[in-house]
Amino acid sequence: MAKKSASFRFYAQLNDFLSSNKKQKEIKYAFWGTPSVKDAIESLGIPHSEVELILVNNEPVSFNCPIINGDMVGVFPVFRSFDTSGVGIDRGGSIKEFMFVIDANMGKLARLMRMAGFDSLYSSDFEDDQIVSIAQNERRIILTRDVNLLKRGAVIHGYFVRATDPWKQLSEVLLRFDLHHRVKAFKRCLPCNGVLELVDKDEVKDQILAQTARSYQQFFRCSSCGKVYWQGSHYERMNRLLRQLMEEDHRRRIPSRSPDNKLVKPEDHDLKDSINKPMKTPKVHQEH
């Protein structure tokens, strides 16, 4: 039996996972038997959690679609402004709200996510198995820089964070999940992720300096660890940096006009063109 082959083309930021000689071009994938399209995509290096839409011979398919000799496969990333509703991958585990579990070596991102108000579990002791089971049981989104973690079969929602700088990582996550309008500072405890509650000054006066009590009127206490917060200079600084980041992200997202006068983001053109243009002559997808 001869080895079979299919052609793959990965779009936009999925190219981040490919070596430079494979980026932005058709890739030949040789195989035996009938692997699923998900297995093929992962063996080419792309974690399934990054994929939003797969077209086999121009037809949207699910992850378990078997690939056959001669298939033309287009693989698209999550692209917020590009509406794939109705044709995108059904992951089978919907997210009720945006809650995260963050990989063990990303403590600074965890603190920044909490600062921005997002429920983000983190421990420097987290093992990969633990992260995957927490994500599964609590319907949390995994944030990691470990591609292999995202390739695990039990992972439903996850994101490979490209940046290494924590503030850039925060910006990347907010953009990826379209979270800017959900940012709410002073909602969570930075070290423990507990929810902050407004408390009377009298209740916390033993835990703060007399000068702090004189200078500030509003105090918050973590419902988990009891740490007391007030909007002092540290808060002011963090809040200013957060506002700056939001403004910069907003500027980067200012829409421009496309030739047909529809509002689109500049980087949308490529993806829209490629999806409107058939990859090659369409072929009927059927078993031989």
Segment interacting with Zn ion (CB under 5 A) among 45-53, 169-177, 220-228, 250-258:
220-228
Determine the Cα–Cα distance for residues 155 and 256; give it in Å rounded to an integer: 36
Nearer to Zn ion, 177 or 229 (CB): 229
Q: Binding of Zn ion at residue 192 (CB under 5 A)?
A: yes
Segment interacting with Zn ion (CB under 5 A) among 2-10, 151-159, 193-201, 240-248:
193-201
Identify which of 225, 111, 119, 211 has the alpha carbon closest to the alpha carbon of residue 169.
111
Nearer to Zn ion, 9 or 188 (CB): 188
Whether 270 and 10 have beta carbons less than 8 Å apart is answered as no
User: 3-class DSSP state for residue 110?
Assistant: helix
Nearer to Zn ion, 49 or 193 (CB): 193
Q: Binding of Zn ion at residue 194 (CB under 5 A)?
A: yes
Taking CB under 5 A as the criterion, the residue among 14, 102, 150, 189 binding Zn ion is: 189
The number of angstroms, rounded, from the C-alpha of 264 to the middle of its chain's C-alpha atoms is 21
In this structure, the chain runs to a length of 288
* Six-digit token string for 175: 């953009």
Q: Binding of Zn ion at residue 242 (CB under 5 A)?
A: no
Phi, psi dihedrals of residue 253, rounded to the nearest 5°: -100, 10
Taking CB under 5 A as the criterion, the residue among 224, 231, 258, 274 binding Zn ion is: 224
Determine the Cα–Cα distance for residues 229 and 25; give it in Å rounded to an integer: 52
Q: Beginning with the edge strand found earlier in the chain, give each strand of the sheet holding 141-144 in spatial order.
A: 120-122, 100-102, 141-144, 158-160
Q: Binding of Zn ion at residue 195 (CB under 5 A)?
A: no
Nearer to Zn ion, 140 or 188 (CB): 188
Segment interacting with Zn ion (CB under 5 A) among 48-56, 146-154, 184-192, 199-207:
184-192
Q: Binding of Zn ion at residue 204 (CB under 5 A)?
A: no
Identify which of 276, 273, 277, 254 has the alpha carbon closest to the alpha carbon of residue 265.
254
Name the minimum Å distance from CB 283 to Zn ion: 57
Name the site residues for Zn ion (rule: CB under 5 A). 189, 192, 194, 222, 224-225, 227
